[in-house]
Structure 1
Amino acid sequence: MSAQGAAHKETPKETFYRQFQGTVANLQEQINHLANLSAVAGERHDTIEHILTGISRLSNEVADAADYVPAYDQRTYSQALKQLTDQLNEAQAQFRPKSRFQFKRRNPPSGGDAMADRKNDARYMLPAGGQDKSSSPSAVTAVANANGSKLSSEDHKDSLSNLPSVPAKNYNEEIAKDSTDSRVRKPSFSTARDITLSDHEKLHIILPLSASRATSAGALTNMKGCIVDMSVPTRVCAGGAPFASLALKNISGSLIVAGHVDGPVHITGLRDSKVLVVARQVRIHECENVDFYLYCASRPIIEDCKGLRFAPAPKFHSADKDESTNMWDQVDDFKWLKAEHSPNWSVLPEEQRITEDVWKDKVPGHPGAGLDDILSTVGIGAEA
């Protein structure tokens, strides 16, 4: 072998292609084996959730690779992901129960039969000497004039505004009432203005890209033993939109992947949890024994806290940010005014940090790994 051949090093573009092909092949194999999985105990459902998460992750990685993958190749990768999604949809369609009742379409009568039917139909009967104007383009106008009130465009708007409003969808109620055996929930929030999650226990909640329509504000309240991942709809490179603001309150024994926030994040009353957030400003109040993985463009502020540990956000979640502007370890304790370092917070040792591969591969979930397994992997005990 020549020295030149031995010295060849795989380029980032080649590495991405190889890894992409391998992941797609693995997901295709899982789709092909769905029919062999049991629907009992949620085995098939969990595998489908894992496949969907894998496709979403690949989509994010394609967007992240824009620096070294040409636009043509990106379109090819996107088309491959679309085909993969279509294959999954076709496979899922085979498992859906067929409806027992279907309307039968009546063939319209033809020729003279149609005219005879119309002649005998009271809806088409006219007064003597009358003329059928139902097919005339001006029939609606004529009816309006006959009533002495031709509808203007403003009248039309008023008539629409008087219609009863459709009540907003209660996504929290939908999450709580989900009857599947799986603890995974993926509320769309496609009809909401903001994202509010509250009063949940022992659930793995993953927000899909459709939730990006509701990121004007976000709030998580009263969560226990949960995993909440809001990263996908808040990542611009994935087609999402960052939160304008975010509030986390009264959360214990949970892993919160809060995603990207353009404005402030207010965190109050958290216990025994892990939080990942990419934000402009972070304020933390009355929290205890919480690990924070941050990208913060300003100095994080803590107040009335103890046992807090800080680490930089993993690159998988902050690839579009400049590491040199991250002030994750420049924490201001407003209740500690002495010159020496505050005893209420510390830097999380590197060997104790959640690794990149865990954030990327374990936290989103995979077949065979339940909620408690993932929480245990990131160092959150079942007793929390």
Structure 2
Amino acid sequence: MWSVMLNKNSVKKNLFRFIKLGVAFELGALAATYGFWYKVNRNIDFRFYLHENYKFVLDAYYKIGETIDPEYKGKELDYDYWVKTGKITHSSAKKYMLRAMDKLCLSNYNNHDPIDRIIKRQLQRKKTEEKNNLDFSGSEEIEKFIEAFNQKQKEIEKEFELAETLDHEMLSDHFSNLNELIQSLQKFYSNATIFLRIYDKKVCQATLQNLQIKLKELENRLLPRKKFGFKSRINKLEKDDGKKNGTSIKNGVKSKISLISHNDKLIEEEICGFRHKNDEILFLTEEEIEKKDVLLENLKNCTVKLYGNPTTIHMTNLINCQIYSGPVTTSVFVEKVKNSSLHLACQQLRIHETTDTDFHIHVTSKAIIEDSQNVRFGVYNFNYEGLENHYKISGLSKEVNNWNKVDDFNWLAADKPSPNWTILTD
């Protein structure tokens, strides 16, 4: 009996001994595994292996995710975005993958939150891209964009050829349509800059610039400015303000002032305006500018007021001038204007080679600037008797005013505003 009891005790002791040895072995193995991983993870050769083989390690990571959750879509959503678009380099993709593996290993395998967050993040990114019509990625999408861009360019080129065959009366509307097509193509390109390669961007920018140049050359050739001559019929009305020789002081500077109504009118019946004037106040009445083109050229330190409804206005070489105009039926063209203030209402406004100038405008389409710097835009504020009637005659809608929407043909980046124009604060 005693022998049986001794045998049972020895069995228990041996059993406890084996359990202790097993636990010790497990702890030792765990410590050894951690030590091995700690050393390997900091080993240069191992890190080099990860760098060179990150795609295969990445595939292993996705297999782990699929094992944990059969519906895991990480590979489908991430792999194409990382590898095909080239938006993440080998090194950054490796770091991103290692961080994701760490989160996966440290989380509870029964809890799929880390995977869900990855999927939600990718789906949200996809929705955002679709919303902005930027669902392009990879070489196939770039090729689709280039094909569409070239197709739109060919359509514009055909419109250029059509302009050669149109009657003179139809050219103005045709050129306006061409300008809108080029603006649309520019917007199409701007929306795609986020995924285009540097080479593709340079080609598209060069194409857009060539189209603009061709449009300007074609317009100058087929729809040139009317030639004109001046005849001088000076009728100065000196303002008697108690000073001799009609001089007055404005802004602390003495300047001669001439009040002119019928002076320096152009011989051409459909064109009127002023040119080669310094330090004068000039104005034209409703009867003088109705259904006519107005030309203002080579003016310095002048104030010009146009009380009425001209068809178009052309301004060239103005320095330190104040220009006020009633509603213009079609377009206003501004070129080489410096240190001036312009108050205009029109359908289209095109500004070239202009600097340090304020525009107070009412325009029904976007204003266009080119080769211009430090131009500022505010709301049209010229008021005079008969303005409401002139709005009706011009056909301008008072409800549509794009005074703060400006296209800069020298600034094609979609993600940053042009530094060449700003909004007036006062």
TM over 0.5: no
TM-score when normalising by structure 2: 0.37
Please report the TM-score for the alignment, with normalisation by the length of structure 1.
Answer: 0.41
Q: Which has the higher helix share?
A: 2
Q: Based on CA coordinates, which of the two structures has the bigger radius of gyration?
A: 2
- Which of structures 1 and 2 has the larger relative contact order (alpha carbons within 8 angstroms, sep 6+)? 1
